[in-house]
Structure 1
């Protein structure tokens, strides 16, 4: 009986325990966490000021059009979907399709920047500045700060797209693509919170 048990044990294949894997570069994750902390403090202070001056913030929000910010939300989400597709396609060694996904993510990102720039220019032409009042100070600070992060995300994705031309990324070689995707998702997440707080919540 004991011999049979030993034989059955030996016959059973060893269970494969999946290794814990952090997608992308660890240094980028520290940078992402630091950026999230900065935005978190920004949002917290915004909430405090809004609680102290509800009428002022409500009046400022009444001058914000939801059409462009909603379109920008859809553009960033579409860009994130493209980054997910790029990682998946590189993992499948579908080089051309993966590069096309990266290119499409940059197209959506460019659309976001154009819409946001149009919105900001309109506010500046209307005489709105950081010194107008507390609401416009937060509005401009948050949206411009996020705008710069989208620009950086575009630069990172463009660099990955450029380096992918020689087949640098593929199955088991996804760190660069995963790093770019992680950063893009962070930018997307911050925008969703910013959109909800500054544009939607009344």
Structure 2
């Protein structure tokens, strides 16, 4: 790639976003995958609303709402960590990112508690189309939460602004996906 190509690439849309431009390629790809899964969920609900209504009746929207609050708070802590990294306050950055990770762990614990309650009622992946898609969507998101916590743990060590911006950009994608998933899965009838 020539120097002129690199300059053109650096001045493009991705260059205006925080963090490494390649994280945005990953984020947009992940958003597309989640969008397709949520679209499949919406179509399946339209085709079989009775199965989806009975599946939603088993869910605990209170725990999901608590998890929404936990994840949004974690995103706030991650944003504070990124601001601290930009201000060259490495110790503060580490504290904020560790707090974000702690809230991420809380999200995971609540989600696992929710899964345990659902499984205790006898539901699983093969119970219905609703639960197949529910466990697929929320499980895929849960894996992204865990990956996001690993990314935050890695970038907090050096507390370098560019790396922290990259890691928190991924973490905010995880937040955004949950904020969209929560009402679609738990509230919309």
TM-score by length of 1: 0.83
CA contact (8 A) 2:97 2:156 kept: yes
CA contact (8 A) 2:151 2:167 kept: yes
Residue 62 of structure 1 aligns to a residue in which SS?
helix
Structure 1 equivalent of residue 3 of structure 2:
none
Picking from 92, 103, 115, the partner of 2:87 is 92
Counterpart-to-counterpart distance in 1, 2:176 and 2:145: 12
Counterpart-to-counterpart distance in 2, 1:25 and 1:95: 19
Structure 2 equivalent of residue 117 of structure 1:
112
Structure 2 equivalent of residue 181 of structure 1:
168
CA contact (8 A) 2:60 2:114 kept: no
Q: Which has the higher helix share?
A: 2
How do 1:1-202 residues align onto structure 2 when only pairs under 5 Å count? Answer: 21-164=16-159, 169=160, 174-202=161-189
Counterpart-to-counterpart distance in 1, 2:77 and 2:102: 10
Structure 1 unaligned blocks of 5 or more? 1-19
TM-score by length of 2: 0.89
Q: CA deviation at 1:163?
A: 2.8
Q: CA deviation at 1:66?
A: 1.4
Q: CA deviation at 1:131?
A: 1.1
Counterpart-to-counterpart distance in 2, 1:63 and 1:185: 29
Q: CA deviation at 1:162?
A: 2.3
Counterpart-to-counterpart distance in 2, 1:21 and 1:44: 29
> Stretches of 4+ moved more than 2 A in 1?
124-127
Q: CA deviation at 1:49?
A: 0.7
Residue 128 of structure 1 aligns to a residue in which SS?
coil
Counterpart-to-counterpart distance in 2, 1:152 and 1:97: 22
Counterpart-to-counterpart distance in 2, 1:145 and 1:155: 16
Q: CA deviation at 1:89?
A: 1.1
Structure 2 unaligned blocks of 5 or more? 1-14
Residue 127 of structure 1 aligns to a residue in which SS?
coil
Counterpart-to-counterpart distance in 2, 1:87 and 1:21: 16
Structure number with greater Rg is: 1
Counterpart-to-counterpart distance in 2, 1:135 and 1:23: 37
CA contact (8 A) 2:19 2:165 kept: yes
Count of residue pairs brought into register by the alignment: 175
